[in-house]
Amino acid sequence: MKALILSADNFEDSELLVPYYRLKEADVEVTVASLKRGAITGKHGYEVTVDKTMDEVDPDDYAILLLPGGKAPAEVRRVPKALEIARSFFAGSKPVTAICHGPQILISADLLKGRRATCYKSVVDELKEAGARYEDREVVVDGNLVTSRQPSDLPAFMRETMKQLGL
């Protein structure tokens, strides 16, 4: 089983690293894709090796898409290939999980209309304007979509993420 994480520099360190290591712990192969090869650096200084550029990603190769927050989603959402990847996961009814600012990518891909979701407080108005039904809860599950608000929600976020994979 393979998981795909889309991110860029200035990601929220815990929101990328906790899912990364939790999935690896469950023997899920994790690929980190970004705008360029090399490494990306989190807001708090952690570096993560980039396995592929977004252009090199074939969404059909992955069982789940994870979108960590921080400032990275503001950059990722401007990449047409990133939006195409997100749309592909939705079209295939595969799990998509997004935390904090991560839902901004789904907003730009026009995937949240009519969906129940949550996000970081500064993204709430944008989420509502995109047609999502906002819920202020630590985790919101709407079919294949799992969303959470902030790092303190990571235990609930990961519990539901792992359920999506049957783990």
Query: Which residues belong to the active site?
Result: 101
Question: Residue 16 sits in a domain of what CATH number?
Answer: 3.40.50.880
pLDDT of residue 149: 98
pLDDT of residue 83: 98
Residue 98 pLDDT grade (very low, low, confident, very high; cuts 50, 70, 90): very high
For residue range 26-65, list pLDDT tens digits in order: 999 999 999 999 999 999 999 999 999 999 999 999 999 9
Residue 21 pLDDT grade (very low, low, confident, very high; cuts 50, 70, 90): very high
Distance CA(134)–CA(125), nearest Å, equals: 9
Nearest to 69, CA basis, from 119, 10, 110, 11 = 11
Using a 10 angstrom Cβ sphere, with 0-12 exposed, 13-18 middle and 19 or more buried, the burial of residue 52 is middle
Q: Count how many domains the chain has.
A: 1
Residue 142 pLDDT grade (very low, low, confident, very high; cuts 50, 70, 90): very high
Task: Provide the domain limits for residue 149.
Answer: 2-164
pLDDT of residue 165: 97
